[in-house]
Structure 1
Amino acid sequence: MSWLYLVIAGLFEIGFTTCLKLSNNFSNFRWSIGFVLCISLSFYFLNKAIQHIPMGTAYAVWTGIGAVGTAILGIVLFQEPAAFWRVFFITTLIASLVGLKLVAS
């Protein structure tokens, strides 16, 4: 269950980074509220996850999910570049996250 909490926390991290961009420096009230909600839920679920997953592993996976998801959303929604090396390193980050899950005790 802790790994599920960690994935949910990572998804909310993607949500808060996306809301942060769309809030336009917190001038858009709705996206600003979305940011506060997502960041609060992200930390809530991260806190639940680290009760049973080593903190270093959980933090690395949480930030990795957020980084990969945010990068992919940037490419899809905000027309950020999808150059070969960028996609390559996003893929290696995903492989690292899977590796951390496999070696976690």
Structure 2
Amino acid sequence: MSLTPLLFVTGSAFIDILANMMIAKSQGFRKLRWGIAGIFLIWIAFAILSQAVKTMDIAIAYAMWGAIGVTGTALCGRLIFGNKLRPIGWAGIGLVTSAVVVLSVG
């Protein structure tokens, strides 16, 4: 597999993480500009992800995107908003990430 689809997936996932932070910042869309910006970034993230699936299996691309997104959102939520996951939550993220690695190698 070439590096290009992986860069598309990774870039798309990081944009998705940023979108999730903006949506959280919107406080349930009470701050409408943050919410609209978040939705716009999600649209961009999927547009970029669509480039990856031109040359990569969609199951692998979407699983990688999801694992990066969940992990990044949890970490950013902790750093920016002080959100705390219980150890079982981190274990779940670890299991999802491990499953993506197995899926990607297999």
TM-score by structure 1 length? Answer: 0.82
Q: 1:101 & 1:95 partners in 2: Cα distance?
A: 10
- The farther-off stretch of 2-11 and 70-79 is 70-79
Which of 36, 45, 48 is the matching residue for 2:39?
A: 36
1:68 counterpart residue number: 71
Q: Deviation of residue 46 (structure 1)?
A: 0.5
Which of 7, 22, 25 is the matching residue for 2:28?
A: 25
Q: 1:38 & 1:100 partners in 2: Cα distance?
A: 27
Q: 2:54 & 2:31 partners in 1: Cα distance?
A: 35
1:98 counterpart residue number: 101
1:11 counterpart residue number: 14
Preserved CA contact (<8 Å) 1:68 1:93:
no
Q: 1:47 & 1:62 partners in 2: Cα distance?
A: 11
Q: Deviation of residue 29 (structure 1)?
A: 4.1
Unaligned segments of structure 1, at least 5 residues:
none
Q: Deviation of residue 60 (structure 1)?
A: 1.4
RMSD: 1.8
1:48 counterpart residue number: 51
Q: 1:17 & 1:11 partners in 2: Cα distance?
A: 10
Find the residue that maps to 1:24 and give its secondary structure.
coil
TM-score by structure 2 length? Answer: 0.81
